[in-house]
Chain A
Amino acid sequence: MLLSVLSGFLLAACLPVIGKQIKGNLSILLSALPVILFIYFLSFIPGVANGETYHFTYNWVPQLGINFDFHLDGLSLLFTLLITGIGSLVFIYTSSYLKGHVYLDRFYGYLAMFMSSMLGLVLSDNIITLFIFWELTSISSFFLIGFNNDSEASRKSSLLALGITGFGGLFLLAGMILLGYVTGSYSIVELMGQTELIHNHPYFVLILFLVFMGAFTKSAQFPFHFWLPGAMKAPTPVSTYLHSATMVKAGIYLLARFTPVLGNHEYWNTTLIIIGGVTMLYAAIHAVFRLDLKGILAYSTISALGVLVFLIGLGTDDALLAASVFILVHALYKATLFLVTGIIDHETGTRDVSQLSGLNKVMLPVGIAAILAAISNAGIPPSFGFLGKDLIYEATLHYGDWAIVLTVAAVLTNICLLFAGFLAGIKPFIGKLPQKYEKLHLPSPLMYIPPMILAGLGIVFGVLPMIIDSPLIKPVAAAILNTSPDFHLALWHGWSVVLLLSTITIGGGLGLYFILKPSEGLLAKATRFEPISPMSIILRCTRIFESTAKGVTYVLQNGYLRYYVIAILTFLSVLLAYKIFKGIDLYVNFGKLTEITLYEAIVLAIMAVSIVFTVFTRSRLVAVAAMGIIGYSICLIFLFYSAPDLAMTQFSIDTLTVILFVLVLYNLPKYLKLSDTGSRVRDGMLALIFGGLISLLTLEVLNEPLEREISAYYAENAYTLAKGKNVVNVILVDFRGADTMVEIIVLSIAAIGVFSLLKLRLKSIEKE
């Protein structure tokens, strides 16, 4: 099982090495992987149909409770079959669609990576691994959407997709961690037993919000839906795979998976119904106005996702059953339509639906597939879609007080969806064939057979629902409901309200199809609302965010050293001032002070004068001299207060520093008066405040008792252990010898630095 999940990653890892060899016709061989996986997962059907679930555990980070725990039940099985099944067809389709593309190997690598991530996502039992695979799908889809990386639009939309889904992913991670914190377990199976605990926990609302954010961003729910139409810049196989059947369904999977854990709660249901309902209507209406085939499909996909969220939100047995069926229905017809769109695009070079018609005459098999898919999409019997739609109406009709509102919404959505499906699936193929397309020919069978298979399945399942009824759909519903439901799919339910609604839907949709002709004008009308669409709003927020960041960076990171210093010092001053004036009462213990002798007072006075001179003199030489005097005064202070070693060192260093300055200064320019009075006053104030605070701080520290443990140790052991009597020197060369060692190394580096700065000529210097 681990191998089956990771095989895609392995393949992707091998491709850069072997990719060049298989670039030609051999690329179709890569399709073997998803096909094998598909067969492997098919083998689980009998077991799962009997109500069994499979569990596989591989340790990964046991310390954190993160393991490769794979759990296979009905829901996972349905998704794995979709992933590998549609994956196989997409792999085959791609080998022809992107034939001879320079980066075909790369494309397959991304696809394989994506497939594995999706498999991992739907099979993970551990919610942390689930999150990791979740993010992996976002990342691999980023590469796939941006596959045409020389187009700016493509790069932009892939970034947008990554941004939105990655953003949601973070919420999901937070939600997962909270769940783990609340229940003490990271296993979904174990979480299912703790529904009560979770529902009553104060964090429940927060968890709900976080999980919703993850699911809504991934499944393109309003108001995060806009990345999906943008992602249509991707090559069509990607759109087919990611945006109809798999990735966008990850959010649905998540919601379905957590229904037994978080569901059946007022908040859960209401939120999902509202968001799902808004999304399905909003996107369905949008789909009507599109001209671009892929745009139509994108919006109808969003709408379908909305329907799914809506159904999960209803949460009744009927609704969840409808959701289970609709996942499959939608995957089948939408993938078909995408593949067909790809063929049209590939052959005619346009996706503008208003220019396409009559293509049946040149590519009949493609047309058949498309029309079948459109029928399934429309829910016209005997397609599988009819079944799905019936179930949806069944669910809405039996939902208590709001049944009528919900049903009307569902009907409206379905009318628009039907229209969109006809526009994409039927319109291009019937009517008069424009002259310029007469020379078109049928593409390679590798391209038109996959959509035909999918479309065919859509009809077969409709006519013979028992094929998938108990083996597949029942376990799915069982997994979502966490009980064993009792139902049977059937095409014919007898005369009922549901049938009436279906008829209204079909009639309404057909009517719309004949009245409304797609045109630029309609599109323009729809785009008028663009500025208030969520996409524009979020993009505007991003821009504001960017410019704010730029502004803040400009203020803080302006490249002027002194502003950095000012910022640091101001902050430090405020902090110090707060601390000093808040909690500490200052006092000076005059009794403990050492007395002042005259010569000390004189030395200090000289020092004070020198400091003032250093700061205010116009002449650099005076400044250096004054600095030297300060140094010598400090030397005297050291001498007065029992530090002969320091005095000697300070004396020598001071001498050398002054010599250095004098040597160099002659070659430097005179002081310039560079700053105005205002900034001088400001800097002076800041400097004085900071100096004053340091003084206060020092006074305060002097009041604290002194801990002399370390000194005492050195004082006692200097002679007994190190045979030295000058304790300072003993510390330097013996106790802390390693420090001194490092110090002399640093000194040597400084000397080498000086030497190389002066001796090695820079290029620009040589010009002089």
Chain B
Amino acid sequence: MKTIIFKTASSYLLPLLLLFAIFILLRGHYLPGGGFVGGLIAAIAFVIHSFANGIEKTRGIIKFHPGFLMPIGLALALIAAIAPLFTGGALMTGLWFENPVPVIGMVGSALFFDIGVFLVVVGVTLTIIFTISETI
């Protein structure tokens, strides 16, 4: 699988796919997409890269163990979930900023929750795939 073309392509594909994944994530509230799909696409991006360049290279790009994304994502989702409690709402009530942010649109706690989901999905998928390819 480690052909030159695949290698070259994958190094361009990675940032592109990641960007696409984030795009999917952010537009999820209005159009098809969201944290789950975005996370999966991002994970696939890394997997393709690792197929082309070997797992060590890919891990070099990420710099830390993907497993760490899981607690970060869980924490973010949890914060988004309990934030309304501090403003007097019930658990998981949506909180929204007054004004829309350019490009992204309305920003609210739901978005942070979705980002949390995104991070967890990336973390889980990469942990699984990397662990397997390393031990085989």
Contact = CB atoms under 8 A, between A and B. Distances in A.
Contact between A and B in the complex (any CB pair below 8 Å): yes
Interface of A: 644-645, 648-649, 652-653, 655-656, 659-660, 663-664, 666-667, 721-726, 728-730, 732-734, 737-738, 740-741, 744-745, 747-748, 750-752, 754-755, 758-759
Interface string B29-54: 11111111100110110010000000
Q: Which of B34, B35, B44, B108 has the most CB of A within 10 A?
A: B34
B25 to A, nearest CB: 10
Given A733-B110, A738-B91, A755-B67, A750 B44 contact: no
B136 A664 contact: yes
Contact of A656 (B30, B67, B91, B125): B125
Contact of B133 (A655, A663, A745): A663
A605 B74 CA distance: 42
A651 B113 CA distance: 23
Contact of A744 (B43, B92, B121, B136): B121
Contact of B127 (A645, A660, A724, A755): A755
Contact of A732 (B36, B41, B121): B36
B120 interface: yes
A750 B131 CA distance: 13
Given A723-B94, A750-B128, 18 more contacts: A660-B132, A664-B136, A726-B28, A729-B28, A732-B34, A733-B28, A733-B35, A733-B113, A737-B113, A738-B91, A741-B81, A747-B121, A748-B120, A751-B67, A755-B67, A755-B131, A758-B135, A759-B131
B132 A733 contact: no
B16 interface: no
B14 interface: no
Nearest to B134: A758
Interface in B70-91: 70-71, 73-74, 77-78, 81, 91
A551 B99 CA distance: 73
B35 to A, nearest CB: 7
A652 B40 contact: yes
A659 B131 CA distance: 13
Nearest to B42: A652
B33 A751 contact: no
Nearest to A725: B30
Contact of A722 (B33, B110, B132): B110
A644 B124 contact: no
A666 B136 contact: yes
Interface in B94-136: 94, 96, 106, 108, 110, 113-114, 116-117, 120-121, 123-125, 127-129, 131-133, 135-136
Interface of B: 24, 28-37, 40-41, 43-44, 47, 67, 70-71, 73-74, 77-78, 81, 91-92, 94, 96, 106, 108, 110, 113-114, 116-117, 120-121, 123-125, 127-129, 131-133, 135-136
Contact of A734 (B73, B92, B123): B92
A663 B129 contact: yes
A733 B34 contact: yes
Nearest to A730: B29
A645 B33 contact: yes
A682 B102 CA distance: 63
B136 A649 contact: no
Contacts of A667: 136
Contacts of B125: 656, 751
A758 B132 contact: yes
Given A649-B40, A744-B121, A751 B127 contact: yes
Contacts of A656: 40, 43-44, 47, 125, 129
A747 B131 contact: no
Closest 5 interchain pairs by CB? A652-B40, A644-B32, A751-B124, A724-B29, A744-B120
Residue from A724, A729, A734, A745 whose CB has the most chain B CB atoms within 10 Å: A729
Contact of B34 (A653, A726, A738, A744): A726
A723 B121 CA distance: 24
Contact of B116 (A644, A726, A730, A744): A744
B74 A744 contact: yes
9 contacts: A649-B40, A655-B44, A726-B34, A729-B29, A733-B29, A738-B92, A744-B73, A744-B116, A755-B67
A700 B7 CA distance: 53
A748 B121 CA distance: 8
Contacts of A755: 67, 127-128, 131
Contacts of B70: 748, 751-752
